[in-house]
Amino acid sequence: MSVIISGLLLGGTYALIAVGLTMQYGVSRIMNLANGENLVFACFVAFWLFTTFAINPILGIVLIVPLAFVLNWLIYTYAMRPLVDRAKNRGQLEVDSILATFGLLFILQGIMKLTFGGGYFNYNFLAVPVTIMGSNYGLNRIVAFIAAAVIAGALYLFLNHTRYGTAIRAVAVDPVSAGLVAIDVPRASAFAFALGGALTAASGALLSTFYTFNADMGIIFTMKALIIVIMGGVGDVRGAVLAALLLGLAETAVATFIDPGLTIAATYALFMLVLLFRPQGIFGKRPS
Amino acid sequence: MKRRTMIKTVAAATLAGVLMAGGAYAQEVIKLGASAPKSGPLAGGAEVSHWPAIKLWLHDVNARGGIDVGGKKMPVEVIEYDDRTSGEEAIKNIQRLATVDKVDFLVAPYATGLNLATAPLIAKYGYPQLAATAVTDGVDEFAKRWPNSFWLLGTSASFAESVADVLVKLRDKGAIGDKVAVVNVADAFGIELMNAGKPAMEAAGFEIVYETSYPLGQQDFAPIISAAQAAEPDAFVAFSYPGDTFGLSAQAKIANLDVGAFYVGVATAFPAYLGANGAAAEGVLGAGAVNPDAPGMAEWRARHKDVTGVDADYWASAMTYSSLQILEQAINKVGSLDKAAVTEAIKGGTFDTVLGEMTLDGNVNRKFWTVGQWQGGKFYGVASTGIGGEAEPVAKNGWE
């Protein structure tokens, strides 16, 4: 039982890491390699707010999310839009955006190093045990899990039950046809990119309550997010959440019953299975 | 044509000769090269134990007007390079420091792996290498292979065996029983300590009730702690690296792991450990230590905070500083910047460091701290290889 709960909690964390990238890659078609840096950046901001102004990280999210939204909007408008405009096809945009965000990764990393240095950071927030069925779990992880559920739920409702959400899904499916039905594709793409960035930042703020982070850790999160996004099916929130939960459960089960050294192997084994048998992702549609 | 070429050559040679001679006469400062992580996985550790110690020493030595070289005070400047925690990058840096920057001496790189990666090249250029942040069992072998290398921080075997000794002490006091859970990070330091520590604990009559390893970079420790908890150990020992040290401690606190002894590896001695764990840090055992009450140590720590803006750790910070003090005193004794002579002087000498008197027997410091414990907000050495002044280890008493 404790394996399942721990696994779900871990999966919730992974879902948080991945939903932002799902939006950015699925809708805006930007394979954002700086996703992890964006997340760690939010960790630092949450840390700074908490240690300097004693602002509780959950409240901090209220500040961090709009900030990240604006920042990512600007990044999209000034750094990514030119790539989108000049790309002849999706493949070219992917290559270009990977290169561009690879550069962005180093810029963000550099800023963090300049401001905070390369050291390890963490702080104590809600690190109190909560007993569920005889085992203890960290309250901060449970809060993160609940937040992940709320964020994923809200995102799902927004995408499937609002007019603008439908427009965004249309862009995700086919940007050219979306334009034909009077959807402002550039604006929807920018919005999705900014929203994805804001979600990533929110998860960063939540993660910072129980992760030990430093300026170099972004790549770890980017890798995890990439695997989850591809497993779940590009641009599919349900798929990403399910993939994240599966990954969390698999890692915890392997760590408990086999060996903690094999968690990474389990991750990649699962990833390979999905790629072999459902290359379009769990919920992804076969390209027609 | 021929003659013109010759004139050119002669002119160039003369010019070069003048420049070189001029350079030698004009040398007013001692150039020190430093290559260590400012990014990559080990940057977190280097930012605590390595770079600030160099900064403080530089400040101190230049405040005195520099190093006394044969009666002339020469200020020191440091050229710093980031090795991105990569051996290849570190080698390139050393190469550059030796051939382009032409530094007079080097600060040894940070951590075991990077020191070993660069040792052959440093030996080739003949710089003394005072490895202050390397813990390895190969010290004697390496000292023999690279006679210019010096190994200050100790051996994995002593670190691991000391853990067993401390556990025996706690068992004698009735704080713990015989059951121990042991985990390690699957990386050089963790594996070496596990290989030495497990037999040592078994030889001391402890029963290993849970044992596992986990990969470097692991963030989720709930499965490990709950599996260990299920085995109902009296003591928990983790040969861990900084990230995992924090992760395991946080999880143990949440799970309220009920043990009489809790040991975690590197970074337990970092001030950030106390910061992150607060009162829960009390009684936690960890790798390495200093004696914070030793003469001069409190004053040195205060100066460290003053000058660098960050607190020194309770382990390798002081050793890095000491390695530079040794270098300074050796240069002093020789009275020149001759690398070979300075290396010889380090071999034979006894040095006065912030960690007390230090002698390098066969290029190796034989007296070092191995295990420390947080007691009342300070990290006290509870075991060493003969330094003296060890504090008594106490039982871990809950996580509040």
Residue of A nearest to B250 (CA): A127
Residues 6+ apart with CB under 8 A from A127: A138, A139, A140, A209, A210, B250, B253, B254
Place of tokens 């009684």: B283
Domains B29-154+294-368 and B156-292+370-384 share a fold: yes
Whole-angstrom Cα distance, residue A3 to residue A11?
12
Residue B364, both tokens:
């190796």
How sure is the predictor about A60, in pLDDT bands with cuts at 50, 70 and 90? confident
For residue A52, pLDDT over 90 is answered with: no
Q: Up-side HSE of residue A236: CA atoms within 13 Å toward CB? A: 18
The reported pLDDT for the residue numbered B131 is: 96
H/E segment holding residue B304: helix B297-308
ipTM of this predicted complex? Answer: 0.70
Tell me the longest C-alpha to C-alpha distance in chain A.
58
The beta strands (E) that lie in chain B are given as 30-36, 67-69, 72-74, 76-82, 105-107, 129-131, 149-151, 179-185, 207-214, 235-239, 261-264, 284-287, 350-353, 356-361, 364-365, 369-375, 378-384
3-state helix, strand, coil in chain B (%, to 5): 45, 20, 30
Contacts of A57 (CB under 8 A, 6+ apart): A46, A49, A50, A125, A205, A206, A208, A209
- Nearest by CB to B47, which of A118, A127, A255? A118
Helix, strand, coil shares of chain A as percentages rounded to 5? 75, 5, 20
Q: What is the mean pLDDT of residues A78-95?
A: 84
* Cβ-defined contact of B48 to A260 (cutoff 8 Å): no
Q: Tell me how far apart the alpha carbons of residues B257 and B246 are, in angstroms, rounded to a whole number.
A: 15
What is the pTM assigned to this prediction? Answer: 0.79
Domain boundaries, given as residue ranges, for chain A: 2-277
Q: Which helix (H) or strand (E) holds A129?
A: strand A129-132
Q: List strand residue ranges (DSSP E) for B186-334, in order.
A: 207-214, 235-239, 261-264, 284-287
At residue B81, the pLDDT reads 95
Contact: A121, B256; criterion CB under 8 Å: no
Mean pLDDT of A256-284: 82
Domain A2-277: give its CATH code.
1.10.3470
Instruction: Read off the tokens for B257.
Output: 């792991």
Q: Domain B156-292+370-384, what architecture?
A: 3-Layer(aba) Sandwich (3.40)
Name every residue in A having a CB less than 8 A away from some CB of B: 2-3, 6, 9-10, 109, 113, 117-124, 127-129, 135-138, 210-212, 214-216, 220, 251-252, 255-256, 259-261, 263-264
**Inter-axis angle of helices B188-203 and B156-172, nearest 10:** 40
Asked if A252 and B215 come within 8 Å (Cβ–Cβ), the reply is no
Residue B22: predicted pLDDT:
43
Distance CA B345, CA B335 (A): 11
Closest chain B C-alpha to A261 CA, distance in angstroms: 4
- Residue A114 predicted with pLDDT over 90: no
Secondary structure letter of residue A122 according to DSSP: -
Domain ranges of chain B: 29-154+294-368, 156-292+370-384
Contact state of A120 with B223 under an 8 Å Cβ cutoff: no
Fold classification of B29-154+294-368 (topology level): Rossmann fold (3.40.50)
Nearest by CB to residue A6, choosing from B219, B223, B253, is B223
Which residues of B fall within a CB distance of 8 Å from A138? 250-251, 254
Residues of chain B with pLDDT under 70: 1-27
pLDDT in tens, B179-213: 999 999 987 788 889 999 999 999 999 999 999 98
Q: How far apart are CA A75 and CA B260, in angstroms?
A: 53
Instruction: Please give the pLDDT value at position B187.
Output: 79
Chain A CA closest to residue B275: A123
How many angstroms separate the CA atoms of B124 and B110, rounded?
Answer: 19
Residue range A235-248, pLDDT digits in tens: 778 888 888 998 88
Work out the minimum CA distance from B255 to partner chain A, whole angstroms.
5
- Contact list in B for residue A255 (CB cut-off 8 A) is 214, 220, 223-224
C-beta separation of A240 from A200 below 8 A: no
The pLDDT, as a whole number, for residue B18 is 47
Nearest residue on chain B to A213, alpha-carbon basis:
B243
CB contact under 8 A, B44 and A214: yes
Asked if the Cβ–Cβ distance from A216 to B38 is below 8 Å, we say no
pLDDT in the model for residue B12: 54
pLDDT value for B21: 45
Whether A120 sits inside 8 A of B272 (CB atoms) is yes
Substitution target in B254, B266, B270, B400 with the highest count of A β-carbons within 10 Å is: B254
Quote the pLDDT of residue B43: 83
- Are B370 and B263 spatial neighbours (Cβ–Cβ below 8 Å)? no
Q: What is the per-residue burial (b if ≥16 Cβ within 10 Å, else e) of A226-246? A: bbbbbbbbbbbbbbbbbbbbb
Which of A13, A216, A268 would best serve as a mutation to test chain B binding (most B beta carbons within 10 A)?
A216
